[in-house]
Amino acid sequence: MTATIPNLPSLYDPFTTEAKWQKFWEENQVYKADPSKGGEPYCVVIPPPNVTGSLHMGHAFESALIDVLVRYHRMQGRNTLWLPGTDHASIAVHTILERQLKSEGKTRQELGREEFLKRSWNWKAESGGTIVNQLRRLGVSVDWSRERFTLDDGLSRAVVEAFASLYDEGLIYRGEYLVNWCPATQSAVSDVEVESKEVEGNLWHFRYPLSDGSGYVEVATTRPETMLGDTAVAVNPDDDRYKHLIGKTLTLPIMQREIPIIGDELVDPTFGTGCVKVTPAHDLNDFEMGKRHNLPFINILNKDGTVNANGGEFAGQDRFVARKNVVSRLEADGVLVKVEDYKHTVPYSDRGKVPIEPLLSTQWFVKIRPLADKALDFLDQKNSPEFVPARWTKVYRDWLVSLRDWCISRQLWWGHQIPAWYAVSETNGQITDTTPFVVAKSTDEAWDKAKAQFGENVQLEQDPDVLDTWFSSGLWPFSTLGWPEQTPDLAKYYPTTTLVTGFDIIFFWVARMTMMAGHFTETMPFQTVYIHGLVRDENNKKMSKTANNGIDPLLLIDKYGTDALRYTLVKEVAGAGQDIRLEYDRKKDESPSVEASRNFANKLWNAARFVMMNLDGQTPAQLGEPKATELSDRWIISRYHQVIKQTTNYIDNYGLGEAAKGIYEFIWGDFCDWYIELVKSRLQQDSDPASRRIAQQTLAYVLEGILKLLHPFMPHITEEIWQTLTQQPANSSQTLALQPYPQADANLINPTLETQFALLIGTIRTIRNLRAEAEVKPGARIIANLQTDSESERQILTAGQFYIKDLAKVEALTIAGGQQPSTVTEKKPLKGLKTIGLIILGLVLVRVAFAIANTVENVPIFGAFFETVGLVYTAWFVSRTLLSAQARQRFLAKLFAPPTDKPLSETTMQPLQEAEKSEKSIAGVVGTVQVVIPLAGVVDIETLQAKLNKSISKLETEAQSLKGRLSNPKFVDKAPDDVVKATREALAEAEKQLEILHTRLQELQ
pLDDT attached to residue 704: 98
More confident residue, 857 or 793: 793
CB 528 within 8 A of CB 73: no
Element (H, E) at 543: none
Q: With CA atoms as reference, report the closest residue to 787 among 767, 762, 817.
A: 817
The fraction of the chain above a pLDDT of 70, given in percent, is 89
Instruction: Label residue 452 exposed, middle or buried (CB < 10 Å: 0-12, 13-18, 19+).
Output: exposed
The model's confidence at residue 841, banded by pLDDT at 50, 70 and 90, is: low
Choose among 999, 998, 989, 990: nearest CA to 955: 990
Q: List, for residues 774-785, the tens digit of each pLDDT value.
A: 888 888 899 999
Q: What is the pLDDT of residues 379-398, one digit of tens each?
A: 999 999 999 999 999 999 99
| H helix or E strand, kind and range, residue 939 | none
Q: Cα(230)–Cα(223) distance, rounded to whole angstroms? A: 12
Q: For residue 213, what are the CA distances in angstroms to 186, 250, 259, 261, 263?
A: 43, 9, 14, 15, 21
Query: How far apart, in Å, do the first and last CA atoms of the chain sit?
Result: 63
Phi-psi label, residue 595: left if phi above 0, alpha if psi -120 to 50, beta otherwise: alpha
Q: What is the pLDDT of residues 946-994, one digit of tens each?
A: 877 888 888 889 899 999 889 998 888 888 888 888 899 889 888 887 8
**CA–CA separation, 558 vs 791, rounded Å?**
56
**Cα distance between residue 94 and residue 469, in whole Å:** 12
How does pLDDT run across 14-64, given as a tens digit for each residue?
A: 999 999 999 999 999 999 999 999 999 999 999 999 888 788 999 999 999
Q: What is the DSSP letter of 144?
A: G
DSSP line for 581-602: E---BTTTTB-HHHHHHHHHHH
SS3 track for 331-372: HHCCCEEEEEEEEEEEEEECCCCCECEEEEEEEEEECHHHHH
Whole-number pLDDT of residue 976: 84
Cα 98 from Cα 950, distance rounded (Å): 72
Would you say residue 602 has pLDDT above 80? yes
Query: What is the residue type of 999?
Result: T
Is residue 997's pLDDT more than 90? no
Span 78-82, mean pLDDT?
A: 98
Q: Confidence class of residue 661 from pLDDT cuts 50, 70 and 90? A: very high
For residues 462 and 193, the model is more confident at 462
Distance, CA of 208 to CA of 253 (rounded, Å): 7
SS3 201: strand
Please count the helices (runs of H) and the strands (runs of E) in the chain: 36, 30
Task: With beta carbons less than 8 A apart as the criterion, state whether 430 and 445 touch.
Answer: no
Q: Say whether pLDDT at 242 is over 90.
A: yes
- Count CB atoms within 10 A of the CB of residue 973: 8
Beta bridge partners of 175: 363
The percent of the chain in helix, strand and coil, each rounded to the nearest 5, is 50, 15, 30
Q: What is the pLDDT of residue 840?
A: 53
The rounded percent of the chain whose pLDDT value lies above 90 is 63
Confidence of residue 272 (pLDDT cuts 50, 70, 90): confident
| pLDDT tens per residue, range 484-499 | 999 999 999 999 999 9
DSSP state of 900: S
Least trusted range by pLDDT, from 18-27, 162-171, 437-446, 846-855: 846-855
pLDDT at 417: 97
DSSP alpha helices (H): ranges in 209-358? Answer: 284-292, 319-332
Distance CA 135, CA 129 (A): 10
How does pLDDT run across 206-239, given as a tens digit for each residue? 999 999 999 999 999 999 999 999 999 999 999 9
3-state secondary structure 764-822: HHHHHHHHHHCCCCCCCCEEEEEECCCHHHHHHHHHCHHHHHHHHCEEEEEEEECCEEE
Cβ neighbourhood burial of 287 (10 Å; 0-12, 13-18, 19+): buried
Mean residue pLDDT of the chain comes to 87
CB 501 within 8 Å of CB 531: yes
3-state secondary structure at position 506: helix
The full 3-state SS of 675-709, as one line of letters, equals HHHHHHHHHCCCCCHHHHHHHHHHHHHHHHHHHHH
